[in-house]
């Protein structure tokens, strides 16, 4: 064994850090310094060189765990950056958004705001391919979503509007019945119906060994939406669809999972329906403690009143202050409830939290979700259903 062990450890750690190369190098240097000094001290304490190396490394814990901790610092930084960007430099953009939203009626139902849906499929940078570069790295790329969420001014409809229109027509239009068509004839037929046309991602299909002229589509079910037909028929061939600039693109499931679409959902109702107790109260805890005391007092001989002389008010106040300062804010509670609801109900394994690639975050009461087109559809349904149930209750 030699000092190479340190090097191996640091290299391993570095490879798992989802950070910029300079950041990685800096962390490695800092830890290397620490290990060197620790080694000298441990040897001075009488350990053999080998044992000292072993122990110094053991004190750091396993590389994977450490890498995850460092990376999570970076993710937090990203999130904070986003919040700052949202509140300061992009304030004007948000003003535009807010104005936009106000054109849509907001009743008791969940409103999905079509003009705010934005698709972000960076063609050059599929997310998390090598796993080395963190797509969340604030320095690697400026986050595209805020920019893409800004409705473009001008005469031609923005990309977001085009995407939203295509999504809408997939839901509203009925699927034509088809007998024995190939993938490419399916695309041709869809081009007639979808405003911005339909394309086949030929290169990706070929890479996956799928011939666009193959496939036998038979669809004779009446009154089903285009989206449902697409989902079911393409699934059989391990294919799926994306929407890019309003264009419906037939591609492989793998590609769709790498190039996620970003959609912003206006979800006021869902956020509002989370019940957050208005003020944390320490009272139940204290009552319980007091009861605990009562029990002891009752069974023991001659015990004094447990609450006598105890400043309950101060205790209660102190616990409440502590929770207020250290506990999650109301917004955090609301968001985590909503996010948990969606992540448990819709494709649990696809989310970053569970080892997938999809992400969910929020700005105010808007949900910012990066997912596949198919899963977006499920989220939309879930939110619609939630809104509908609300509509049934309120007069």
Give the residue with the Cβ less far from another protein, 56 or 164.
56
* Chain residues in the site for another protein (CB under 8 A): 26-27, 29-31, 33-34, 37-38, 59-61, 65-66, 69-70, 72-73, 76-77, 80, 289, 292-293, 295-297, 299-301, 303-304, 306-307, 309-311, 314-315, 318-319, 321-322, 325
Look at the block and give the residue holding tokens 């447990």.
306
215 within 8 A of 164, measured Cβ to Cβ: no
Give the residue with the Cβ less far from another protein, 95 or 303.
303
Give the residue with the Cβ less far from another protein, 296 or 348.
296
Q: How far apart are CA 395 and CA 389, in angstroms?
A: 12
Angstrom CA distances, 153 to 15, 150, 156, 160, 161, stand at: 43, 9, 8, 12, 11
Nearest Cα to Cα of residue 265 among 377, 394, 156: 377
Give the residue with the Cβ less far from another protein, 101 or 315.
315
Give the residue with the Cβ less far from another protein, 17 or 118.
17
- Which two tokens mark 260? 């996620």
Q: What is the closest distance, in whole angstroms, from the C-beta atom of residue 98 to another protein in the complex?
A: 29
Q: What is the closest distance, in whole angstroms, from the C-beta atom of residue 186 to another protein in the complex?
A: 50
Q: What is the closest distance, in whole angstroms, from the C-beta atom of residue 128 to another protein in the complex?
A: 22
Q: What is the closest distance, in whole angstroms, from the C-beta atom of residue 292 to another protein in the complex?
A: 7
Q: What is the closest distance, in whole angstroms, from the C-beta atom of residue 137 to another protein in the complex?
A: 13
Q: How far apart are CA 242 and CA 191, in angstroms?
A: 14
Q: How far apart are CA 113 and CA 378, in angstroms?
A: 16
**Collapsed DSSP state (helix, strand, coil) of residue 328:** coil
Q: How far apart are CA 24 and CA 13, in angstroms?
A: 9
Give the residue with the Cβ less far from another protein, 66 or 379.
66
Neighbours of 238 (CB within 10 A): 11
- Which two tokens mark 323? 């929770």
Q: What is the closest distance, in whole angstroms, from the C-beta atom of residue 276 to another protein in the complex?
A: 23
Q: How far apart are CA 62 and CA 130, in angstroms?
A: 22
Q: What is the closest distance, in whole angstroms, from the C-beta atom of residue 85 to another protein in the complex?
A: 16
Neighbours of 165 (CB within 10 A): 19
- Which two tokens mark 282? 């320490």
Q: What is the closest distance, in whole angstroms, from the C-beta atom of residue 59 to another protein in the complex?
A: 5
Give the residue with the Cβ less far from another protein, 124 or 325.
325
């Amino acid at each position: 064994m030699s000092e190479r062990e340190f090097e191996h450890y640091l290299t391993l750690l570095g490879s798992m850090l989802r950070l910029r190369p300079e950041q990685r190098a800096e962390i490695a240097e800092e830890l290397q310094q620490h290990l060197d000094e620790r080694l000298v001290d441990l040897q001075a304490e009488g350990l053999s060189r080998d044992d000292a190396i072993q122990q110094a490394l053991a004190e750091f814990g396993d590389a994977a765990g450490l890498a995850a901790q460092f990376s999570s610092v970076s993710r937090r930084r990203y999130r904070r950056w986003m919040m700052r960007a949202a509140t300061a430099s992009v304030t004007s953009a948000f003003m535009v958004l807010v104005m936009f939203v106000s054109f849509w009626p907001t009743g008791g139902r969940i409103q999905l705001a079509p003009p705010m849906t934005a698709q972000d499929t960076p063609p050059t940078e599929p997310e998390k391919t090598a796993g080395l570069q963190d797509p969340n790295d604030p320095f690697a790329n400026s986050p595209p979503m805020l920019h893409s969420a800004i409705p473009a001014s001008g005469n031609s409809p923005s990309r977001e509007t085009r995407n939203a229109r295509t999504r809408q027509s997939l839901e509203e239009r009925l699927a034509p019945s088809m007998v024995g068509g190939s993938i490419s004839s399916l695309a041709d037929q869809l081009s007639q119906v979808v405003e911005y046309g339909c394309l086949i991602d030929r290169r990706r299909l070929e890479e996956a060994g799928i011939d666009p002229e193959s496939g036998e589509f038979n669809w004779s079910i009446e009154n089903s939406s285009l989206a449902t037909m697409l989902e079911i028929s393409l699934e059989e061939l391990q294919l799926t669809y994306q929407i890019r600039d309003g264009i419906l693109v037939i591609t492989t499931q793998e590609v769709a999972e790498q190039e996620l679409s970003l959609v912003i959902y206006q979800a006021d109702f869902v956020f509002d329906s989370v019940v957050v107790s208005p003020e944390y109260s320490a009272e139940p805890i204290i009552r319980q403690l007091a009861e605990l005391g009562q029990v002891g007092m009752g069974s023991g001989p001659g015990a004094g009143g447990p609450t006598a002389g105890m400043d309950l008010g101060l205790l209660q106040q102190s616990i409440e202050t502590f929770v207020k300062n250290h506990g999650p804010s109301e917004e955090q509670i609301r968001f985590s409830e909503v996010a948990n609801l969606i992540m448990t109900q819709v494709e649990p394994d696809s989310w970053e939290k569970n080892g997938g690639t999809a992400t969910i975050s929020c700005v105010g009461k808007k949900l910012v979700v990066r997912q596949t087109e198919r899963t977006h559809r499920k989220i939309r349904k879930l939110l619609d259903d939630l809104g509908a149930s609300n509509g049934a209750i309120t007069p």
